[in-house]
Copies of this chain bind each other. A is one copy, B any other.
Amino acid sequence: MNASPWKMARRAERMNPSVIREILKITEKPGIISLAGGLPSPYSFPVEAMREATALVLRDAPREALQYAASEGFAPLREWVAAHMAAQGVHVDASQVLITTGSQQGLDLVGKVLIDAGSTVAVEAPTYLGALQAFAPYEPEVVTVPCDDDGPIPEALGVARGARFLYLLPNFQNPSGRCMSESRRAALIDAARAIGLPIVEDNPYGDLWYDTPPPAPLSARWREGTVYLGSFSKVLAPGLRLGYVIAPPAMMPKLLQAKQAADLHTPGFNQRVVYEVIRDGFLSEHVPTIRARYKTQRDAMRAALEAHMPPGCRWNVPVGGMFFWVELPEGVDATALLPKAVDLGMAYVPGAAFFASEPRANTLRLSFVTAAPDVIERGVALLAKALTGDR
């Protein structure tokens, strides 16, 4: 028998390589200024605190940290998350907190327990690419809720009627950078309740605000109709792969079984180390240093865009998060432009990848968190050069 004996699942056809990860490979060429990836600045990682915490864990509880552990997660870390959520107005019991291997795993688990093949999932336009990839293997029909600069439009929510859930990122959205106002949150929850449309709220960037904190999570307004995803990737370090899901009590047993089946549990060593780092209030000192760093970089990107970009381009200044979302003049295709930009020495992510339907070819995403201000300035200048040469 020489032919391959393997037959792939139907869902495998719907899985595609991450555009972003493919672009990241291109940008690994030396000398390329990448404004493409959403990599946190490595200078924001609390290396010294990590050193102390790992030493402590390996001194005080090495055998517990290296042993199999509860699928739910490390109990003190779950308690910490519950307290952290309460401070934002989301009152949950620690038993409603499931620790995940990054919040990407939260998306996978939510998809696994909620999506049937052919059922509908609603998303924003644009939306987080990684969520589309997490949901795709479960074969949903994806509908896009019309959005404006304040997020999904409550009056337009009818298109999502009957969907298993609406997935959204209210704070400094990836990729658009937008932040939903207090009044939009209220109106959106009212509209969602009215049609019985539950919400999966993803909040990896909420702590990265540069002027004032964002309004309370949507989950604070409709506890039984929301699932909330959080992450330590942006406030500590992504290489630890630590996130969490908060869900209504009735959903927890199924999420937990999905978690067991997926990887038994998130590394206990990592959970204990992170708990040691954060238990005594470290984040209240550390996160402001990240904010200050990123605010400076955001301001550098704003200044560079204003200085270099040709007329006809549009962007909003994000009040938090990691990204500028740039609209090029109509008719300019950001995907077609990318090789030219890379030739000139910079990279970005074309915006088309972030739309579940009707991609807008003239959009692109720029990250301001990875590179230092002078590098951002040079990168944006190169983008402008690619663009000007293209017109």
- Could you list which residues of chain A lie within 8 angstroms of chain B, going by C-beta atoms? 1, 3-12, 15-18, 21, 37, 39-40, 42-43, 45, 47, 50-51, 54-55, 58, 62-69, 71, 100-102, 104-105, 108, 112-117, 119, 130, 133-134, 136-138, 164-165, 193-194, 196-198, 224-225, 233, 237-241, 248, 250-251, 253-254, 256-258, 260-270
Q: Which residues of B contact A17 (CB under 8 A)?
A: 253, 256-257, 260
Q: Which residue of B lies closest to A242 (CB)?
A: B267
A289 and B221 CA atoms in complex are apart in Å by 56
User: Given the known A-B contacts A15-B257, A196-B5, A250-B4, are A51 and B42 also in contact in the complex, defined by CB atoms under 8 Å?
Assistant: no
Q: Which residues of B contact A258 (CB under 8 A)?
A: 12, 15, 137
Is there contact, CB below 8 Å, between A264 and B130? yes
Is there contact, CB below 8 Å, between B137 and A112? yes
Is there contact, CB below 8 Å, between B9 and A113? yes
Is there contact, CB below 8 Å, between B71 and A21? yes
Interface of A, secondary structure class, is helix
User: Given the known A-B contacts A114-B6, A114-B7, are A45 and B66 also in contact in the complex, defined by CB atoms under 8 Å?
Assistant: yes
Question: Which one of A12, A225, A257, A263 has the highest number of Cβ atoms from chain B below 10 Å of its Cβ?
Answer: A263
Is there contact, CB below 8 Å, between A58 and B67? no
A134 and B11 CA atoms in complex are apart in Å by 16
Partner of A12, one of B136, B224, B254: B254
Q: Which residue of B lies closest to A46 (CB)?
A: B66
Quote the shortest CB–CB distance from A205 to chain B (angstroms): 15
Q: Which residues of B contact A194 (CB under 8 A)?
A: 1
Q: Which residues of B contact A136 (CB under 8 A)?
A: 261
Is there contact, CB below 8 Å, between A21 and B241? no
Quote the shortest CB–CB distance from A63 to chain B (angstroms): 4
Quote the shortest CB–CB distance from A13 to chain B (angstroms): 9
Is there contact, CB below 8 Å, between B164 and A7? yes
Is there contact, CB below 8 Å, between B5 and A198? yes
Q: Which residues of B contact A268 (CB under 8 A)?
A: 239
Is there contact, CB below 8 Å, between A8 and B114? yes
Is there contact, CB below 8 Å, between A12 and B113? yes
Is there contact, CB below 8 Å, between A239 and B45? no
Partner of A117, one of B50, B117, B241: B117
Q: Which residues of B contact A116 (CB under 8 A)?
A: 9-11
Q: Which residues of B contact A8 (CB under 8 A)?
A: 113-114, 251, 254
Partner of A50, one of B37, B62, B266: B62
Other A-B pairs beyond A45-B63, A133-B261, 13, CB < 8 Å: A5-B225, A6-B251, A9-B138, A10-B116, A45-B67, A47-B58, A50-B62, A50-B66, A68-B239, A100-B263, A108-B262, A130-B264, A270-B270
A-B contact pairs, 16 of them (CB 8 A): A4-B224, A4-B250, A6-B165, A6-B225, A9-B164, A11-B116, A15-B113, A17-B257, A45-B62, A65-B239, A67-B238, A105-B263, A239-B267, A241-B264, A241-B265, A267-B267
Q: Which residue of B lies closest to A224 (CB)?
A: B4
User: Given the known A-B contacts A196-B1, A265-B241, A270-B270, are A257 and B66 also in contact in the complex, defined by CB atoms under 8 Å?
Assistant: no
Quote the shortest CB–CB distance from A77 to chain B (angstroms): 14
Is there contact, CB below 8 Å, between A55 and B45? no
A21 and B37 CA atoms in complex are apart in Å by 39
A264 and B138 CA atoms in complex are apart in Å by 17
Q: Which residue of B lies closest to A38 (CB)?
A: B68
Quote the shortest CB–CB distance from A204 to chain B (angstroms): 12
Is there contact, CB below 8 Å, between A67 and B42? yes
Is there contact, CB below 8 Å, between B254 and A241? no
A136 and B261 CA atoms in complex are apart in Å by 9
